[in-house]
Amino acid sequence: MIETSLYLFNTNGITRTSIQDIMTATELPKGSIYRRFKNKEEIVLAAYDKSGEIMWSHFYKAMENKKTAIDKILAIFLIYQDTANNPPIAGGCPLLNSAIESTGVFPELQKAAAKGYDDTVMLMASLIKEGIEKQELKEDIDIRSLASFLASSMEGAIMASRVSNDNIHHHYFIEQIKHHLFSYSK
C-alpha cells in the first residue's frame, strides 16, 4: 500500500490524491487503511520515508564499483539522466516534489524533506572529504559549500528537465559539474 501511495502522491501530487484514489489503486477498503494510519498525512509521511529508502538504495548501487570520489558523485547524479521520461521513481524526485508541496502547509513533511536534503548534502560532503583524504581533491575546498552547491544543482537540473520534459538540462548540469569538480582535482 505504501509504494502504491508513493506512486500516486509523486505522480498526481499530495493534494490531488484522495483516500478514495488510494483505496481504488490498492483495492483496500477504507477500514484497512485507517487501521494502519490515522489520516492521509500519516500515509504521506510513510510514503515519503519509503521514497527515501528507494533513493538511497539507488545511490549506494550507483556508487558500488566506483573508485574515486568524483566518480561516485557523478554516478549519483547519473541516476537522473533520463529524469524527463524515466526517473528512478515515477513522477520525478520525491524530495523536490515533497519540498514544493509541503512548504508552509504541511510542516511534518517539510521537516522530513529538509532532513532529506540535509542527508543528501551530508552524503556529498562525505564524498568530498573522502576525495580530500585520498588526495584526489585539493585540501582548500569549502566542503559544506561545495556539498550544498552539488545537491542544490542536482535538484535544479531535475526540476528543469521535468518541467521542460527535456533531459538536456540534466546533461548540461552533468557537463558543468564535471568541469567544476575536476577544477578541484589534484
**Domain 51-182, what architecture?**
Orthogonal Bundle (1.10)
Per-residue pLDDT at 186: 83
pLDDT in tens, 75-108: 999 999 999 999 999 999 999 999 999 989 999 9
Q: DSSP string of 39-55? A: SHHHHHHHHHHHHHHHH
Mean pLDDT along residues 7-16: 95
Neighbours of 100 (CB within 10 A): 12
- Mean pLDDT over the full length of the chain: 96
Contact 131, 70 (CB under 8 A): yes
Per-residue pLDDT at 155: 96
**Could you tell me the pTM of the whole model?**
0.92
Per-residue pLDDT at 21: 95
Q: List the chain domain ranges.
A: 51-182
Nearest to 124 by CA among 108, 111, 137: 137
Secondary structure (3-state) at 151: helix
